[in-house]
A and B are shown apart, each in its own frame.
Chain A
Amino acid sequence: MEESAYIGGLIAGFAFLIAGIRLYRLQVRTGEAPERLLATTFLVWSLSYFCWQLPVAVETGSLAAPLLFIGNTTNELGCITFALFLRVVFRNQERWATWLVVAVAVTLTTGVVGSWWVGDSEGLRPLTNPWWWLQIAGDSAVFAWTGVEGFIQYRKARQRLRLGLCEPMVCNRYLLWGLTGVVWTVYEFAVVVHEIEYAVTQVWSASMDFVVAGLELAAIALIWLVFFPPAIYQRWIDRAGSSATVGEG
């Protein structure tokens, strides 16, 4: 892994850590499942990022392989809790969503165990490890689901916004959520290309490194706007939203 992806991963790790802590504090106050699941996801993902970045940053010797294994495993664990979050928040009463979460959990767990079984516990050998593809399939399903739900809710929220039944910032949050899903899905595709290229050439491509880091940072920026929007951004969205409401602006 080259410098761009390392820096991107490090920033992502810290961003998920801060967001996770803030959401954890929120769940302590409210005791509600959505913030609990999202806080867990973000904290687990931050651990995953740090485990991936540590062997790149410093000489970890024999600890490198276990760290990468923990990074791989916690990444998938985070995807499972994130799928649970999507089900609880967007599809609370839908049986198919429960089955989708079960399918994701089984796929990712099988992928991680299978990768470990064939000696690729870090999940870095796409050409020789068929289980690696299960992990990619499970991750991609969760990320695509994120995007689909975001855009479905954004369309409905725009209708409510016109009638004054939805706040502009909440409506915008659905759009950002949908875009995050799209960026994550494209990121997953870029990771596949990146890792296959590495498996073939044994060299981390600098250009793909840059693409992966860029997508990682774009997703972090979107997440940040969803949960911690700056005041100037809120004012901009509120102004735009008021003029979209029937009978106002």
Chain B
Amino acid sequence: VDAAIFDIAAERLESHSGLPRLEARGTLRIALKLAGLAANSVTAGQLSVVFDKVMPGELEKRGVSDAAAVCSAVVGDLVNTPVPAEAKSGDDLDAIFRRLANG
């Protein structure tokens, strides 16, 4: 099950890049994988970093013109989109491993 924020980001990417729905979702999944993240637990903050540092390269590979502007537009949309409560914090393994060292 993907996080709601993933669906929102994929939909915005589709809209701004002109990529077909499946390709937009697939590209986002690949970018997340390259960033060591999972679609079912990604947060809005992590997505912003992925769109800033990973996604431009992935969009260029797929022939999307002005990839940086597309990514900025998606990040802008994400900032202005109210994120559903369940999407704000995923199943954060890093948080568990951070916490366990505070025993």
Binding site for B on A (CB under 8 A): 19, 22-23, 25-26, 30, 32, 34-35, 38, 89-90, 92-93, 153, 155-160, 163-167, 169-170, 173-174, 177, 226-229, 246
A residues less than 8 Å from B40 (CB atoms):
93
Assembly CA distance A164 to B102 (angstroms): 22
Check if B53 is an interface residue, CB within 8 A of chain A.
Answer: yes
Size of the chain B interface, CB-CB below 8 angstroms: 22
SS class, residues of chain A in contact with chain B: helix
A153-B93, A163-B50, A165-B49 given; A34·B35 CB < 8 A: no
B54 nearest in chain A by CB position:
A163
Residues of chain B from 29 to 67 with CB closer than 8 A to chain A in the complex: 34-37, 40, 46, 49-50, 53-54
Assembly CA distance A30 to B98 (angstroms): 13
Annotate B1-23 by CB proximity to A: 1 below 8 A, 0 otherwise. Answer: 10000000000000000000000
Residues of chain B from 51 to 103 with CB closer than 8 A to chain A in the complex: 53-54, 91, 93-94, 96-103
How many inter-chain contacts with C-beta < 8 Å in the A-B complex?
A: 74
Are the CB atoms of B97 and A174 closer together than 8 Å?
yes
B37 to chain A, nearest CB (A): 7
Are the CB atoms of A30 and B99 closer together than 8 Å?
yes
B residues less than 8 Å from A227 (CB atoms):
100-101, 103
Are the CB atoms of B49 and A164 closer together than 8 Å?
yes
A155-B36, A158-B36, A166-B94 given; A23·B53 CB < 8 A: no
A residues less than 8 Å from B102 (CB atoms):
26
Q: Which of A22, A35, A163 contacts B35 (CB 8 A)?
A: A163
Q: Which of A38, A92, A160 contacts B91 (CB 8 A)?
A: A92
B50 nearest in chain A by CB position:
A163
A161 nearest in chain B by CB position:
B36
B residues less than 8 Å from A158 (CB atoms):
36
Q: Which of B36, B54, B94, B103 has the most CB of A within 10 A?
A: B103
Are the CB atoms of A169 and B103 closer together than 8 Å?
no
B40 nearest in chain A by CB position:
A93
B residues less than 8 Å from A174 (CB atoms):
97
Assembly CA distance A26 to B101 (angstroms): 9
Are the CB atoms of B91 and A93 closer together than 8 Å?
yes
Are the CB atoms of B101 and A173 closer together than 8 Å?
yes
Q: Which of A157, A226, A246 contacts B94 (CB 8 A)?
A: A157
Q: Which of B1, B37, B49, B100 contacts A35 (CB 8 A)?
A: B100
Are the CB atoms of A32 and B99 closer together than 8 Å?
yes
Besides A160-B37, A166-B94, 7 more A-B contacts (Cβ < 8 Å) are: A26-B102, A34-B96, A38-B100, A160-B35, A167-B94, A169-B98, A173-B101
A184 to chain B, nearest CB (A): 18
A160-B37, A165-B35 given; A170·B91 CB < 8 A: no
B residues less than 8 Å from A165 (CB atoms):
35-37, 46, 49
Are the CB atoms of B101 and A159 closer together than 8 Å?
no
B residues less than 8 Å from A38 (CB atoms):
100
Assembly CA distance A166 to B36 (angstroms): 10
Are the CB atoms of A173 and B91 closer together than 8 Å?
no
Are the CB atoms of B103 and A26 closer together than 8 Å?
yes
A26 nearest in chain B by CB position:
B103
A30 nearest in chain B by CB position:
B99
A residues less than 8 Å from B50 (CB atoms):
163
